[in-house]
Structure 1
Amino acid sequence: MAKSKEISVEQRLRALYDLQLIDSRIDEIRNVRGELPLEVSDLEDEVTGLKTRLEKLEDNLTSIDAQISDKKNLIEEAKTLIKKYSEQQQNVRNNREFNSLTKEVEYQELEIELAEKHIREFKAQIEQKKEVIEKTKEHTKERETHLKHKKGELDAILAETEKEEEALLKKSDDYKKKIEDRLVKAYNRIRTNVKNGLAVVPIERGASGGSYFTIPPQVQMEIASRKKIITDEHSGRILVDEALAEEQKEKMEKLFKKL
């Protein structure tokens, strides 16, 4: 549905170019931020991942400590049994009983040796994990410092530009309401498909802005007459004459200074 059937082609061209200038200003603001928002988000994810890893490593240490404690208890139990079997050997009635108790003692001694071996292995794991934990803590601290710095950069840029961006976004919506739907859709489609988001460009030195393709003199005259909307056959951009572009730039510069 057309929003302003009565407006002339020239008024449509001016409104479209004004819209382009507003949206290009929004693009500039976002380009200043660049990859910072994404970088901050990635750093936050990285720090969260490192902290989760630290928690798992420390939980693992607790688990190994518990296993060492279990092995020490097993050793104490084995020693108690060895003492018990050794005392029983003093009161045996035959060699069969003596040999049976000797096997029990030998079995408990093997249990002690195995438990001590496991304890040594667990202690080696603890030392290794403590080293990993220390390095992970250092890395986490370094990434947190970097994150704080990047957040500070982003917050400073946002503080400078957020208010202006919000005002410009509102202006962009307001200007779109001045233009019929089909033109807004065409503008958005072109803007998405071309370099730098430039959907409406002026003629510069006989070529469309940002292009090396010359516009024929007859077409340049048609563009300057402002009687119909003409697009560049090479890029698909909507074309406006240089004089109109300069007039609208001056007008929009004044508007931007007020925001």
Structure 2
Amino acid sequence: MAKETKGEPKELTVEQKLKTLFQLQTMVSEIDKIKTLRGELPLEVQDLEDEIIGLSTRIDKIKSEVDSLKSAIAGKRVEIETSKAAVDKYKSQQDNVRNNREYDFLTKEIEFQTLEIELCEKRIKEFSAEEQEKSAEVATSTAALNERQKDLDQKKSELEEIVSETKQEEEKLREKAKDLETKIEPRLLQSFKRIRKNSRNGLGIVYVQRDACGGCFNKIPPQRQLDIRSRKKVIVCEYCGRIMIDPELAGIQFEVKVEEVVATPTKRAPKRKMTDA
């Protein structure tokens, strides 16, 4: 006969497994309550951080466009000065022409450079208007960025306050939950986590309430109730898939209301009159 190795964990009975699983459910439910207490703050913080990154990127891009417009305006002003110098040059050359052909050529060059000046001035107006529009957009986006940053700082402060209040309690619960998980066989634990994940209220194991499943509240047949109370095997609700246990194993006691029965007076049979023989 093989001797039992010292320190080797004993295999839990089905009842012990179910009890341990219910204790784990209690721990993770408490952790869920802490998360609910934090509410949507973590998501709000994440959304604000993403929005701030988006605004910062947008502002940088617009500023780059403004710089490009300023460079373009400066370039057009240089072109204007070059064209003006060319006009002055051609006008001075007109005074010393030897024939009409040279005069006409210089006249056309002056007209061309004048048109170039007008076109550059038009472009400068367009670029300046666009630059003002972009600069105004930068100012608006910067103001929005500052507002979002204030909101983010406030939300982070609120979140940090809540986390600091619940961090210690959550860590203790997580440690207990982790310890309980080591006592449950991996297959059952994986099934429990899968059921819990697919459940709206996060319950993977429930106790029977008034002959019905504590998760979906569908009626449980009498024979199945006996199987649950016997604690010989893991019973799953055929409707919602949650693991079911009896209330006693969960430490729940329902109050049984005893209705007072009002005694109704019994009717006596009427006495028969004695007749003389």
- Where on the TM-score scale, by shorter chain, does this alignment land: which range? 0.7 to 0.9
**Residue 25 of structure 2 corresponds to residue 28 of structure 1:** no
> What is the rounded CA distance, in whole Å, between the counterparts of 1:180 and 1:88 in structure 2?
102
Number of matched residues? 246
Give the C-alpha shift of residue 108 in structure 1. Answer: 1.0
- Asked if 1:136 corresponds to 2:135, the answer is no
Please tell me whether residue 182 in structure 1 is matched to residue 187 in structure 2: yes
| Aligned mate of 2:97, from 85, 89, 92 | 92
Aligned letter for 2:211?
G
Q: 1:16-165, aligned counterparts within 5 Å?
A: 16-165=21-170
Q: Deviations over 1:86-113 (max 9, x none)?
A: 1111111111111111111111111111
Equivalent residue letter for 2:40: E
SS in 1 for 2:244: strand
Q: What secondary structure, in the 3-state scheme, does the structure 1 residue paired with 2:249 have? A: helix
- 2:254 equivalent to 1:236: no
Q: Does structure 2 conserve the Cα–Cα contact (< 8 Å) formed by 1:71 and 1:115? A: yes
Q: Which runs of 5+ in 1 are unaligned?
A: 248-259
- CA apart distance, 1:227: 3.3
CA RMSD of aligned residues (A): 2.0
Q: State the partner residue of 2:264.
A: none
Note the alpha carbon deviations across 1:6-58, whole angstroms, 9 max, x for none.
43322222111101111111222222233322221121111111111111111
Q: TM (normalized to structure 2)? A: 0.82
CA distance in 2, matches of 1:240, 1:168: 23
8 Å Cα contact 1:208-1:232 kept in structure 2: yes
Deviations 1:117-156 (A, max 9, x none): 1111111112211221222122212221222222222222
**CA positional deviation for 1:5:** 4.6
Counterpart secondary structure, 2:96: coil
Contact 1:57-1:129 at 8 Å conserved across structures: yes
Residue correspondence of structure 1 range 214-225 to structure 2 within 5 A: 214-225=219-230
Instruction: Pick the structure with more helix per residue.
Output: 1
**What residue identity is the alignment partner of 1:234?**
Y
Q: Check the 8 A contact 1:4/1:179 in 2, yes or no.
A: no
Structure 2 letter corresponding to 1:124: A
| C-alpha distance in 2 between matches for 1:130 and 1:35 | 35
Q: Is the contact between residue 4 and residue 180 of structure 1 (CA under 8 Å) also seen in structure 2?
A: no
- Equivalent residue letter for 1:176: E
Taking structure 1 as the reference length, the TM-score comes to: 0.87
User: Corresponding residue for 2:199?
Assistant: 194
Distance 1:20 1:216 in 2: 25
Q: Deviations over 1:207-252 (max 9, x none)?
A: 12133212234433433333333222222222222122126xxxxx
Identity %: 48
CA distance in 2, matches of 1:193, 1:54: 43
Query: 8 Å contact 1:231–1:237 — kept in the other structure?
Result: yes
> How far did residue 157 of structure 1 move?
2.0
Q: Greater Rg, structure 1 or structure 2?
A: 2
